[in-house]
């Protein structure tokens, strides 16, 4: 399952900037935005669906970006990634009656 970012492009850029990883943004076709770190890690985001994917030729650079971004944006992520489930800022409709 993929993860989705529940926010605007501006909020996504803010979460990426909090990682402290230097890099550049690109606007690609079909509403895709891409952040590429100077070390070769890549984050892809599609504005229409909110889908996030990671890529990179160097496994270490990809993993560094994955870990830093997830730590920075976990409150805005939904879905499953790396064995973890993200529910964003959703709260239960049925709070415990304890």
Please give the domain boundaries of the chain with CATH numbers for all domains.
3-87 (3.30.310.10)
Q: The tokens of 77 are what?
A: 């992520």
Task: Report pLDDT digits (tens) over 16-26.
Answer: 999 999 999 99
Rounded-to-10 torsion of CA 84, 90, 72, 59: 30
- In angstroms, the CA 86 to CA 5 distance is 10
- Quote the distance between the C-alpha of residue 73 and its chain's center: 6
Q: What confidence tens digit (pLDDT) does each residue in 26-74 have?
A: 999 999 999 999 999 999 999 999 999 999 988 999 999 999 999 999 8
Six-digit token pair at 29? 């076709």
């Amino acid at each position: 399952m993929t993860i989705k970012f529940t926010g605007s492009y501006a909020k996504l850029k803010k979460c990426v900037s909090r990682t402290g990883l230097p890099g550049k943004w690109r606007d690609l076709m079909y509403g895709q935005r891409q952040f590429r770190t100077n070390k070769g890690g890549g984050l892809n985001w599609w504005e229409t669906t909110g889908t996030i994917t990671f890529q990179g030729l160097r496994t270490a650079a990809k993993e560094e970006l994955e870990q830093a971004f997830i730590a920075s944006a976990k409150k805005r992520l939904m879905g499953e990634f790396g064995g973890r489930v993200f529910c964003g800022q959703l709260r239960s409709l049925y709070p415990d009656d304890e």
